[in-house]
Amino acid sequence: MKNSETICAVSTPQGVGGIAVVRISGNNAKQLCFNVLRAGVGEGRAVDFKPNSSQFCRFYDGENLIDEVVATFFAAPHSYTGEDVVEISCHGSIYVQQRIMETLIRNGARSAEAGEFTMRAFVNGKMDLAQAEAVADLIDSQSEASHKLAMNQMRGGFSKKLSELRRQLVDLSALLELELDFSDEDVEFADRNNLFSIIQSIDSEVTTLIRSFRSGNAIKNGVPVAIVGRPNVGKSTLLNALLNDDRAIVSDIPGTTRDTVEDTIVFDGVTYRFIDTAGIRESNDDIENIGIERSYKAAEKAMIVLYVADTTQSTPESLENDIADLSNKVDFSDKHLFVLLNKTDKTPAFDFSIPEADSLPISAKNEKDILLVVNKITNLLKSELQQNDTMLTNLRHYEAMCNIQSSVKAVENGLHTGLTADLLMIDIRQALYYIGLITGQVSTDEILGTIFGRFCIGK
């Protein structure tokens, strides 16, 4: 990327609309627009750009009038990119957009690359790399919760936590460096007990952020909820009731659902991905067995599992055995299990309670107590969001935080075993390196290209 070049792009989505916005950024953005814009009516006059102001103009290609537009000027450094920026709001005709872009390019601009406006904002110190990545998440957000997480990260919530971690590590590093300077005098400036206490505090914060990734990533992409159970217990009926739509085929014939059926819905600002699965049973049918295996995989990947039981066919003892069998195939330590005692329209639900699950009586067919199920599910995420509005949602950040934790653990172990300051410094520097990878203080062209390549052209 050449920062000296002036770039331009259509920042609104492709297609015809009421208006479109063409964005120009660079040292020559203002002068370039003097060549193509005339203010006022009639033949017009030269535009008089005042910072953070808009004015009605006419856009010309030579002497050919292209469109009547509104131009807004943002003077450096008080703009999104930190450079002079002009945003031209034109009519949404595809032809008009193309002519404006062609004219700007002929007058010295070039077409922006994917994410180049945000990359310039990063390079010019308007935001760090974690904040820049949150811009893409904000654009992609599909629910209130994902929007909230992206906004918090873009406004620096995650970066502030990283800054504090970095500050503590730098302070420790300074104390240990001082010891190295006076190593011949055998002086110990850093109290090892105090050092250990600080490292444990850092480790605790890093662990909290790492653990938040599962929920944060699920909120960003849709919380996976697997609906499992034996055949003909009402799994597909439950899916249809939750979605308020006939999404899955309902039949009295066992084994009707042979593959996963998935759909999404937003409850209380959070997107949930409900996955209906094949009934779990012993079968000699190879195709059905493939579907059953996929049921286990869906449950394993889910954050929430709804185990549906038929109260007309089950007993507390048989149900407990079924869940025990499922637990042998699926690790429930990182997910929440609900046991739904279905078909209460035919027979009253029996009392059932196990420590690892919540039990709820329902009638999926009559949609009785479905709202109770929804409330139970949404309360899980609501509680977590209220307790922690800073969550990891990015796999790159998660991997870097895991490496930070490994380095911090190594410092802890080194303090336990009495390692000297120079050896402790190696792991502290490594932790600082991985913090820098997240914020962009340490970066490579390959990393930046991968991150900004997923942005749209006009952002």
Instruction: Indicate the pLDDT class of residue 118, thresholds 50, 70 and 90.
Output: very high
Picking from 56-60, 225-229, 421-425, which range would have the lowest pLDDT averaged per residue? 421-425
**DSSP 8-class letter at 376:** H
Instruction: Kindly state the average pLDDT of the residues 49-57.
Output: 89
Token couple for 152: 């918090």
- Mean of pLDDT over the chain: 86
pLDDT digits (tens, 9 = 90+) for 190-223: 567 778 888 899 999 999 999 999 888 888 888 9
Helix H segments across 37-143? 94-106, 116-123, 129-140
Other C-beta atoms closer than 10 Å to the C-beta of 205 total 16
Instruction: Kindly state the average pLDDT of the residues 32-60.
Output: 84
Instruction: Kindly state the average pLDDT of the residues 44-69.
Output: 88
What are the counts of helices (DSSP H) followed by strands (DSSP E) for the chain?
14, 14
Report the run of H or E that residue 53 belongs to, with start and end: strand 53-61
Give residue 207's pLDDT. 94
Q: Residues near 85 by Cβ (< 8 Å), separated by ≥ 6?
A: 23, 24, 25, 29, 73, 74, 76, 79
Instruction: Indicate the pLDDT class of residue 110, thresholds 50, 70 and 90.
Output: very high
Instruction: Kindly state the average pLDDT of the residues 33-43.
Output: 80
Give residue 384's pLDDT. 73
Q: Which domains does the chain have, with CATH numbers?
A: 7-127 (3.30.1360.120), 132-216+394-440 (1.20.120.430), 222-387 (3.40.50.300)
Picking from 19-23, 205-209, 246-250, which range would have the lowest pLDDT averaged per residue? 246-250
Q: What is the layout of strands, in order, in the sheet containing 336-342? A: 261-267, 270-276, 223-229, 304-310, 336-342, 357-361
Burial 100-123 (b: 16+ CB within 10 A, else e): bbebbeebebeebbbbbbbbbbbb
